[in-house]
Structure formats: C-alpha cells, structure tokens
C-alpha cells in the first residue's frame, strides 16, 4: 500500500514507538486469576498480604555492552528502559453474568530483586490504574542491573490477560518469580472453642492447626476477627486476640494431640501481639529443623462468639491440619516439702494437692500430669516418679485411702496419663503425687474430654 492510499483510508495516525535497531526487546505474557490477582499496592504495612499475590517478573539488564552515543561521542550517559502493558479484555474471561468487569490496571517497577517478603519500598516507576488498553512507562537504569516488575489490577480477584513489552538499550532477560502460596481458613470462637489467652487454664480449648512443610518457608500470618451476625449489630466491641506458633513436645506431634498443656517459654516459637483490633499480622519462618509446629488462635475474654479468618501467605507450600477439638482445662502447680506427701503408702500422702472435678456428662475423661522445669533433678529418679489418684469427692478435712477410685502407674517419665470412664452428677478429685515424699518440682495437671466439665485449680491440700 502506498502512502497516498494509506492516508486516504486513515485520516489520523498516532506514532507510539519506533523500534531502534540498537534496542533489545522482550515480550512477556501473563494473567491475573484466582490466587494471582492481589489488587493494588498497600497503603500501609498491615494490608500488604493480598498485593503480594500479583505476578512478579525479575528483569535483568546486561550492562557489559555500553550503548553508543547517538552523536558519536564517547561520553557516558544514563541508559533507559521502556515498558508497555496491553490488556486483552476481550479474551480474558473477565465477565460476570452480563456485566463486564472494569479493566483498570497499573504497573510498578522496583529497583533490585524484590522477593515476597521485602519491605515495600519506593518504586522507580509507578503507573496509576487506568482503564486504557495500553499503558507505557520509561525509566532510567541509573546503574542498576535488576528490576522487579509488578503489574496489578485496580481490584482484588480481577481476572484478565495482559502482555508486557520491554525495550532496553542493553541486552535484557527476564524470569517469572515464584508464585506465592495462599491458605485461607474460617472458623469461630464459640462456647467451648473460646479458651482465652495463654494465661487462662482453658487456653487449650482454642482452635489449633498443625502445620507441616518439607522445606524452610517464610510466611505472613494474618488473623482477622469479626463478631457473629447479630452481635455485630448490637455493637459488640472487638476482643483482644492473637496467635501463637508453638513447638509442643514430640509426643503431641506423634499422636496428633492438641497443644493443650500450658506451654513453657521454650516451646513458643513465635507469637503475634495480643490486642483489640480487627486484624493482626506477623512474619514467621517455618523451619524444618524445628519439626512440625502448631498455630493456636486465642481470644479474650472467653467466651465470646466471634468469627475469625486465618490467612497464610507463604513462599513454599504449607499443609494445615485442624486439630480435633477437646474441652481442655490445665493448671500449674508445684511440690514442696509441705505438700509433697508421696504415694498412698506414705503416712503424709493426704497432703498432696487436690483439684475438684465436676462431671456433668457421663463419658471418657483423660487425666494428664506432666513435670515442668529442671528442679526435679535434685531427687533420685525413683523418688521423683510422678503419678496421680482419682478420688471420690467427699466433704472431709482429710482424704482417706478408701476414696481412691483409680491410680496411675508410677514411672520414671516426664509425663503420665490415663483415660477413665466417669459418671455424670459426681464430684471427683484429681491428686498429683510423687512416689516419695519431700520432693520438689513444678508440674501441670490437665483434664480433657469431648464433654464439658468443671475442673478447679485451687490445688487444696486439706
């Protein structure tokens, strides 16, 4: 077609770009869909999770061959790079019912390799979202050799196709950066599932998730709360809430039990703040050397009927297993020379601490006694063997041997437990004991069941 014919058909010509022979070009095809559509960049550090889902491309510029000066001189000048993005709306499947989604999109360019957990820094180039089918940006290299390109849509969950064209004066290559892995779980703190903060005896009742991974994984853990429908309309205030990442003892992980016993400091791997706000977020690395870990979601004060959303954005796949719920109550205690009466073979056995247990539903109840701390090493292995008695409750100043309904084994282990069938409408006492009297050491005593019960923590010795 000659120029005259061309101008006869087209009365307006827009010159977008003339490709120079000395420039290099690459084409990148991409899409926003499902978990790769994170929406616009964050306005604060707290709402950055979703934005990290967007596709990211690492652009590497080879500065070895310096482009020639167009004027033929040898002076060094700042090289430039141009990026254009085209939206393919008619092929993107971006229609919902009979209404097409708005195709507003923007583009961010960061200097350096911005991985998933890099701090959000000032970009070298930012094109605000626009509904134009094509957008373009030019930026100076300024001695940098790597850049991260992040195309994004104006709204989260937008689905659409895009094409990036990169023009650079230097040889340039790119690679798609690994996609993020996203988990989203919803649940509720209701009645027995609301165990309160870690200082509460019922802390083990809170929702728990066992986390498994095959490699070291960086993760952003986000926890949101919302009062249940009806309570929110009544203007219920937000509760203090938070998350704890724990590494319970190995027997818990092997038996897939709940992280129910009150944790020692060394068992806590990470924890969020515990505050009254709609959302809490923190960064944690799941290390394979720390074995499997448990996430415990707690709300205070209990019981409050509140919904939660747990979201985990991770660099590698994670698997979460909801730990089956059990009503759990745990108390801390300590043996000293005054309340360590030994087993029932000793005359002072009645001095051991007692914990009242009220049963409202007939069923199976597990009793656990576990040693804590290092003070137990001052006694011999035989003397410091722990166990417990389940006593029939009676209003007496001193317990009698006839009240013993069940007795655990005495073993040189850190933990003893047994499950009993207990009757409703009956009061029992759980008595932790050591094999010999006058033994010092801290312990935890716990009762758990699928049924609700009342387990007081007085530890009365009378």
Per-residue three-class SS string for the chain: CCHHHHHHHCCCCCCCCCCCCCCEEEEEEEEECHHHCCCCCCCCHHHCCHHHHCCCEEEEECCCCCCCCCCCCCCCCCCEEEEEEEECHHHCCCEECCEECCCCEEEEEEECCCCCCCCCCCCCEEEEEECCCEEEEEEECCCCCEEEEEEEECCCCCCEEEEEEEEECCCEEEEECCCCEEEEEEEEECHHHCCCCCCCCCHHHCCEEEEECCCCEEEEEEEEEEECCCCCCCCCCCCEEEEEEECCCHHHHHHCCCCCCCCCHHHEEEECCCEECCEEEEEEEECHHHCCEEEEEEEECCCCCEEEEEEEEECCCCEEEECCCCEEEEEEEEECCCCCCCCCCCCCHHHCCEEEEEECCCEEEEEEEEEECCHHHHCCCCCCCEEEEEEECCCCCCCCHHHEEEECCCECCCEEEEEEEECCCEEEEEEEEECCCCCCEEEEEEEEECCCEEECCCCECC
pLDDT at 165 over 80: yes
Q: Find, among 179, 63, 81, 178, the residue nearest to 125 by Cα.
A: 81
CA–CA dist 294, 320 (Å, integer): 9
CA–CA dist 430, 408 (Å, integer): 11
Among the residue ranges 299-303, 342-346, 458-462, the one predicted with the least confidence is 458-462
Q: Find, among 435, 332, 347, the residue nearest to 388 by Cα.
A: 435
132 within domain boundaries? yes
Percent of the chain residues topping a pLDDT of 90: 25
Residues 165 and 187 in one domain: no
Are the beta carbons of 210 and 320 closer than 8 angstroms?
yes
What are the beta bridge partners of residue 363? 422
CA–CA dist 143, 155 (Å, integer): 34
Predicted pLDDT of residue 406: 92
Predicted pLDDT of residue 75: 46
Among the residue ranges 63-72, 83-92, 328-337, the one predicted with the least confidence is 63-72
Residues 145 and 52 in one domain: yes
Predicted pLDDT of residue 28: 93
Residues 227 and 241 in one domain: yes
CA–CA dist 170, 420 (Å, integer): 76
With cut-offs at 50, 70 and 90, classify the pLDDT of residue 179: confident
With cut-offs at 50, 70 and 90, classify the pLDDT of residue 355: very high
**Structural domain ending residue among the three candidates 126, 147, 176:** 176
What are the beta bridge partners of residue 207? none
Predicted pLDDT of residue 233: 46
10 within domain boundaries? no
CA–CA dist 95, 118 (Å, integer): 34
Mean per-residue pLDDT for 189-198?
Answer: 76
Residues 23 and 170 in one domain: yes
Mean per-residue pLDDT for 345-355?
Answer: 91
Predicted pLDDT of residue 3: 72
pLDDT at 99 over 50: no
Domain ranges, residue 208: 181-325
Predicted pLDDT of residue 255: 47
CA–CA dist 448, 364 (Å, integer): 9
pLDDT single digits (tens) 208-253: 898 988 888 889 899 998 876 654 444 457 888 999 998 876 555 4
Predicted pLDDT of residue 115: 66
**Structural domain ending residue among the three candidates 143, 176, 209:** 176
Among the residue ranges 150-159, 191-200, 415-424, the one predicted with the least confidence is 191-200
pLDDT at 76 over 60: no
7 within domain boundaries? no
Predicted pLDDT of residue 4: 76
Predicted pLDDT of residue 369: 93
Residues 376 and 424 in one domain: yes
pLDDT single digits (tens) 49-73: 678 888 999 999 886 655 555 555 5
Residues 211 and 142 in one domain: no
Are the beta carbons of 248 and 267 closer than 8 angstroms?
yes
Write down the mean pLDDT value for the chain.
81
Residues 315 and 351 in one domain: no
CA 413 vs. chain centroid, Å, equals: 33
Residues 213 and 261 in one domain: yes
With cut-offs at 50, 70 and 90, classify the pLDDT of residue 36: confident
Higher per-residue confidence, 328 vs 75? 328
| Count of domains for the chain | 3
Predicted pLDDT of residue 386: 93
The two tokens of residue 80 are 């430039």
9 within domain boundaries? no
> Residue 187: what are its φ and ψ, rounded to 5°?
-165, -170
Are the beta carbons of 147 and 114 closer than 8 angstroms?
no
Predicted pLDDT of residue 94: 46
pLDDT at 316 over 90: no
CA–CA dist 207, 402 (Å, integer): 40
Residues 196 and 319 in one domain: yes
Among the residue ranges 57-66, 160-169, 410-419, the one predicted with the least confidence is 57-66
460 within domain boundaries? no
pLDDT at 434 over 90: yes
Are the beta carbons of 459 and 354 closer than 8 angstroms?
yes
The two tokens of residue 104 are 């507003």
pLDDT at 439 over 80: yes
Predicted pLDDT of residue 162: 92
**Structural domain ending residue among the three candidates 286, 310, 325:** 325
Predicted pLDDT of residue 254: 46
pTM equals 0.68
CA–CA dist 200, 104 (Å, integer): 49
462 within domain boundaries? no
Residues 185 and 317 in one domain: yes
The two tokens of residue 278 are 């709609």
Percent of the chain residues topping a pLDDT of 70: 79
Sheet holding 172-176, edge to edge: 125-130, 105-111, 146-153, 57-61, 172-176
Mean per-residue pLDDT for 93-103?
Answer: 49
CA–CA dist 72, 139 (Å, integer): 23
62 within domain boundaries? yes
Mean per-residue pLDDT for 105-117?
Answer: 82
Mean per-residue pLDDT for 167-184?
Answer: 87
Residues 241 and 337 in one domain: no
CA 22 vs. chain centroid, Å, equals: 49
With cut-offs at 50, 70 and 90, classify the pLDDT of residue 116: low
Predicted pLDDT of residue 262: 53
**CATH number of the domain bearing residue 411:** 2.60.120.380
With cut-offs at 50, 70 and 90, classify the pLDDT of residue 30: very high
With cut-offs at 50, 70 and 90, classify the pLDDT of residue 46: low
Close Cβ partners of 346 (under 8 Å, ≥ 6 residues apart): 436, 437
Predicted pLDDT of residue 11: 72
308 within domain boundaries? yes
Residues 363 and 238 in one domain: no
> Residue 376: what are its φ and ψ, rounded to 5°?
-65, -20
Predicted pLDDT of residue 436: 92
């Amino acid at each position: 077609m000659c120029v005259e014919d061309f101008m006869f058909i087209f009365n307006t010509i827009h010159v977008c770009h003339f490709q120079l022979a000395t420039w290099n070009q690459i084409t990148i095809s991409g899409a926003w869909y499902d978990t790769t559509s994170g929406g616009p960049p964050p306005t604060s550090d707290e709402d950055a999770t979703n934005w990290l889902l967007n596709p990211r491309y690492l652009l590497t510029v080879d500065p070895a061959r310096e482009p020639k000066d167009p004027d033929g001189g040898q002076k060094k000048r700042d090289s430039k790079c141009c990026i254009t993005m085209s939206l393919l709306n008619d092929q993107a499947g971006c229609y919902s019912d009979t209404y097409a989604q708005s195709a507003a999109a923007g583009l961010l360019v960061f200097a350096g390799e911005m991985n998933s957990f890099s701090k959000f820094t000032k970009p070298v180039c930012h094109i605000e979202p626009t509904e134009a089918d094509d957008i373009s940006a030019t930026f100076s290299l300024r001695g940098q050799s790597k850049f991260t390109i992040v195309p994004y849509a104006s709204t989260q969950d937008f689905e659409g196709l895009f094409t990036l064209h990169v023009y650079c004066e230097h040889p340039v290559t790119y690679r798609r950066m690994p996609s993020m892995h996203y988990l989203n779980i919803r649940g509720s703190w209701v009645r027995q599932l609301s165990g309160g903060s870690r200082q509460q005896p019922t802390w083990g009742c809170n929702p728990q998730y066992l986390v498994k991974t095959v490699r070291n994984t960086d993760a952003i853990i986000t926890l949101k709360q919302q009062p249940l429908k009806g309570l929110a309309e009544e203007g219920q205030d937000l509760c203090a809430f938070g998350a704890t990442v724990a590494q319970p003892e190995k027997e818990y992980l092997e038996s897939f039990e709940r992280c129910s016993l009150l944790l020692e400091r060394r068992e806590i791997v990470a924890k969020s703040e515990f505050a009254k706000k709609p959302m809490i977020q923190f960064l944690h690395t799941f290390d394979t050397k720390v074995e499997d870990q448990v996430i415990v979601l707690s709300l205070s004060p209990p019981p409050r009927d509140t919904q939660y959303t747990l979201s985990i954005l991770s660099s590698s796949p994670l698997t979460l297993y909801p730990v089956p719920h059990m009503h759990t109550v745990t108390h801390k205690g300590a043996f000293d020379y005054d309340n360590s009466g030994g087993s029932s073979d000793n005359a002072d056995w009645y001095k051991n601490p007692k914990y009242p247990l009220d049963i409202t539903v007939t069923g199976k109840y597990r009793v656990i006694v576990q040693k804590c701390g290092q003070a137990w090493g001052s006694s011999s292995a035989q003397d410091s063997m722990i166990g417990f008695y389940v006593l029939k409750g009676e209003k007496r100043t001193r317990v009698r041997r006839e009240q013993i309904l069940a007795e655990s084994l005495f073993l040189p282990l850190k933990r003893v437990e047994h499950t009993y069938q207990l009757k409703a409408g009956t009061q029992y006492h759980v008595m932790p004991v050591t094999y010999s009297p006058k033994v010092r050491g801290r312990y935890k005593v716990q009762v758990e069941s699928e049924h609700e019960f009342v387990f007081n923590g007085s530890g009365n010795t009378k």
